[in-house]
Chain A
Amino acid sequence: MKGGILNPDNGFEAAVKNFLKDVMEKADIDALLLPFKNAVGDSFEWRLVTADKLAEASVVPPVIAVNGARALSSITRSGKSAMKIAALMRPCEARAAIELSKLNQCDLEPVVLISMDCPGAMPLQDYIADPEKVEKEFEHAAREWNNELIRPICRMCDIFTCTESTWCDADIHVALPETENNAVAFISNTDKGREVLEKVGIGREEELGDWQKKMNARIEERKAARKKAREELKQHVTGLNSLSDTFGSCINCQVCRSVCPVCYCRQCLFNSVKVHYAPDDYLLQAESKGTMKFTPDTLLFQTGRMTHMSVSCVGCGACEDCCPMDIKVAQIFSIAADETQKLFDYIPGKRDAPPPLRVYNEQELKEYET
């Protein structure tokens, strides 16, 4: 892995902000999309700003309140603009943005998408309850790898960085202080990224071997953690009955759907008449099963959404963060997504991979034919 290394004087946060300032000045960028602490101080929000507001931005906020892809989509999805934006976000957010761009729900043409090494995020509810405490914990947790206070979905995430084995298709990736001397490194993944780095005068040919070695070791750790989580979760979701129990506490608020960055429908199937049946049908079902739970479609909602999302799920954890019933939605979805994505050899958020619904491959799904 090669990139350009900067040795910051005042820590990485200042280095990244300086870099963003340079990008704005030298690479003809009109605005920056960055996370900021909200006015009340109990959460973070995305703001489209000019360079003079940079100082207040949070480069690595402790929580993901709104997924960055949703913010970027809301700016770019309706029509073209000559305005150029640089957006800095976590790898899962950048991948969701790329996934949305494939569905024409986000236009990446005017965007320089910048991802960064992600230490994980803290549970949103914890932060709202006591921001100060969680901020301190995050500072500590970010330094100490795999701290137990980090969200479980993050502790099983293996695409938290950008190395040769774990690609992240943002234009530029920022490698945070794991390099020698606490340096910050910039890696370009696309022609656009290379051009920007050239304009701001950051080299691209410095070896990042040490950093990569360290990251590779962490990726292996995460892969093992993911495998373990998978085995544990499997016990709770195999078969209709255990699946039904796992999602049993679902109150059908559907907030997981609302916050999902890639849940792309304009109107949800589960709000439509398509899932409403005649009273007779419900009575028949109740009769044949002996009993029936109402409202009827909570499990159908969860499994249906899983079917819809699992090809594109980037494991950002937004659904789990906001579930009022503490269901392990993100962990279950993410693990199920692994299987679906493997089935179609598809990696969500990879730029040149067309969504499986768009391509026909005569050989695919052979194992399901009878």
Chain B
Amino acid sequence: MKGKIGVFICECGPNIAEKVDVDKIVDEAAALPGVAFVAKHKLLCSEDGKKFLKEQIEEHGLTRLVIAACSPKAHESTFMKVCEEAKCNSHLFQMANIREHCAWIVENKEAATEKAIRYVKAAWRRVGYHEPLAKKEIAVNPDVLVIGGGITGIEASLLLAHADRKVYLIEKSDALGGKVNEFEKIFKNMENTADMLAGKISDVEKNSAIEVFTNSSIEEVVGFLGNFTVTVNKKGERTEIRTGTIVVATGYDSFDPLKAPKYGYGKVDNIYTGREFEVLNKSGKIVGKDGKTPQSVAIINCVGREEMGYCSGVCCLSSIKFARYIKEKLPETEVVNFYREMTLPDKGYQKFFEDTQEKGVNFIRVKSVTVDNSDKGPMITWQNDNGDEHRNVDMVILSAAMTAVNDAETIADMLKISRDETGFFLEEHQKLAPVSTATEGVFIAGCAQGPKNIKESLVQAGAVAGRILSLLIPGKKLEPEVRTSYISEAYCIGCRMCLEVCNYGAICFDALKHVSVVNEIICRGCGNCVGSCPSGAVQTKQFKDIQIHQEVVEVLR
């Protein structure tokens, strides 16, 4: 056995001591080759325990450490820190879980003790095969690249620039503002959009820390958290931007009503999508194709909800806003709003709905609606408990679901992030990490993550800014995982199976040598590649075959 091994048994108060014969473990451990020191302690993770541990390591010159205590999930990092303080490499250390795996689950004390001894011996055997791993530090670029110059991207850029971060804001159209630009007003207070948006856009333009690229799209992304290089294409001119983090604020598209022919879109005159109606309304004149003012308008909700399989939660409110546009400009025009369920969460929206009802808008709850051609213009047929009813209107507005953007797949591939079954980008965790993604350093905000209203989008922009500011601090270095995978050139057959199973984009293929190569900075040591490698060429440090094998041998001996 290499070096001097120290074995420490924690009693964990009564947790371990009552169920396991700790003294017997001490005796067995003392007899193992290479073991220079054995001790038990009441509670090793306590301040007193950590002090004891550090003193013993130093006093006896221990170079390898076995601690039999609780689950490594609970205190591995605690003890690794003590190792560091005592100048013993924290990876020449192995924990044996004699609490959860022995004391807490084995009824018979004798059996629990025997199992605990096997675990301690396994850890002792394993630690002899451990190798010291050196900590790594990498310099980071604190800059941020934001994809999408809509309201979410603008807000995130402003917040980050305010904290003196350099921001590159990439917008594919020729102007900032995104879809919100099309809206005359926003619900629920019917404020002018221009007032809010123009202020923000001018703030962006005035801010020297924000560099705006309009008419631009991203073409290639390489690198990792703290060190991305993004190729931006502006009308054929390519610029390479180095950045530490990336924010995806690419917004949404609207459900294409041609995919739901029952609403007559494309076949019947004077049917508009919500976005087309916004444009028509903003032009100042709500008129049909014949130039005449409509006497009656039907607004149909939930267009695409069945097809997409989710409720966007925003369209109901937009449809009420459409009704208000019409009532403001054409008070005499009859407005009928066909809905299936009114989605009005949050404070204030219920009142917005009731106020609109009071203004004479007729809300009709239906089971289904169809639109057909008739000689008197669009004919609406709806079904409710009384059966089918019909009526003619002069104009129809389809309030359509929000969907993922058309190029979501391309963006996801470039950034190595996932999408969920709805097509929107997938967050790392629905509740705990709603704006992070599986790729460290790539964030999602606003409608890129799922349907949202303006307020929710801005909240996410704020969340992303906060995450970025606390993740990458200028001047502070990142400590990447050191228990990473590596590929033996001699064993690798170049089949590239590992590239397909790596969720982090940490492996690339060296065509010259015909082998795959792990980027140790990106690798998080999950071991997927190890499991997929048909020729046994991949190993993860600290989980090498020999280490696991030796551990198992001892458990089963």
What residues make up the interface of A, taking CB atoms closer than 8 Å to B?
78, 102-105, 264-267, 269, 274, 281, 284, 288, 308, 355, 357-358, 360
Could you list 27 A-B pairs, sorted by A, with CB under 8 Å? Answer: A78-B514, A102-B495, A103-B493, A103-B497, A104-B494, A104-B496, A105-B495, A264-B493, A264-B534, A264-B535, A265-B491, A265-B534, A265-B536, A266-B492, A267-B490, A269-B536, A274-B549, A288-B557, A355-B497, A357-B497, A357-B531, A357-B532, A357-B533, A358-B500, A358-B501, A358-B532, A360-B501
Give Cα A269–Cα B546 distance, bound, in whole angstroms: 12
CB pair A308 B534 closer than 8 Å: yes
Collect the chain A residues with CB atoms within 8 Å of residue B533's CB. Answer: 357
Question: Which partner residue on chain A sits nearest B509 by CB separation?
Answer: A104
CB proximity of B510 to chain A, nearest CB, Å: 13
> Contacts A265-B491, A266-B490 known; A274 to B532 CB distance under 8 Å?
no
Give Cα A360–Cα B502 distance, bound, in whole angstroms: 12
Interface status of B545 (Cβ within 8 A of chain A):
yes
Q: Which of B495, B531, B545, B546 meets A104, CB within 8 Å?
A: B495
**B535-557 interface code vs A (CB 8 A; 1 in, 0 out):** 11100000001100100010001
Query: How many B residues touch A, CB cutoff 8 Å?
Result: 23
Interface of B: prevailing SS? loop
Question: Which partner residue on chain A sits nearest B489 by CB separation?
Answer: A266
CB proximity of B174 to chain A, nearest CB, Å: 42
Given contacts A265-B534, A269-B536, A274-B546, 4 further A-B contacts (CB under 8 A): A102-B495, A103-B497, A357-B533, A358-B532
Collect the chain B residues with CB atoms within 8 Å of residue A355's CB. Answer: 497, 534
Return the 3 tightest CB-CB contacts between A and B, nearest first: A265-B535, A103-B495, A104-B495
Question: Which partner residue on chain B sits nearest A78 by CB separation?
Answer: B514
Question: Which partner residue on chain A sits nearest B495 by CB separation?
Answer: A103
Question: Which partner residue on chain A sits nearest B490 by CB separation?
Answer: A267
Collect the chain A residues with CB atoms within 8 Å of residue B553's CB. Answer: 281
Give Cα A78–Cα B511 distance, bound, in whole angstroms: 10
CB proximity of A56 to chain B, nearest CB, Å: 34
Q: Which of A264, A267, A281 meets B495, CB within 8 Å?
A: A264
CB proximity of A176 to chain B, nearest CB, Å: 34
Give Cα A103–Cα B557 distance, bound, in whole angstroms: 37
Give Cα A104–Cα B535 distance, bound, in whole angstroms: 13
Give Cα A267–Cα B495 distance, bound, in whole angstroms: 14
> Contacts A105-B495, A264-B493, A266-B490 known; A357 to B535 CB distance under 8 Å?
no
Collect the chain B residues with CB atoms within 8 Å of residue A281's CB. Answer: 553
CB proximity of B520 to chain A, nearest CB, Å: 22
CB pair A274 B493 closer than 8 Å: no
CB proximity of B533 to chain A, nearest CB, Å: 8
Max count, chain B CB within 10 A of own CB: residue among A103, A105, A360: A103
CB proximity of A360 to chain B, nearest CB, Å: 8
Collect the chain A residues with CB atoms within 8 Å of residue B492's CB. Answer: 266
Collect the chain B residues with CB atoms within 8 Å of residue A360's CB. Answer: 501
CB pair B514 A357 closer than 8 Å: no
Q: Which of B491, B500, B514, B557 meets A267, CB within 8 Å?
A: B491
CB proximity of B15 to chain A, nearest CB, Å: 26
Collect the chain B residues with CB atoms within 8 Å of residue A265's CB. Answer: 491, 493, 534-536
CB proximity of A88 to chain B, nearest CB, Å: 26
Collect the chain A residues with CB atoms within 8 Å of residue B549's CB. Answer: 274
Chain B, 469-520, CB within 8 A of any chain A CB? 490-497, 500-501, 514
Give Cα A308–Cα B493 distance, bound, in whole angstroms: 14
CB pair B493 A105 closer than 8 Å: yes
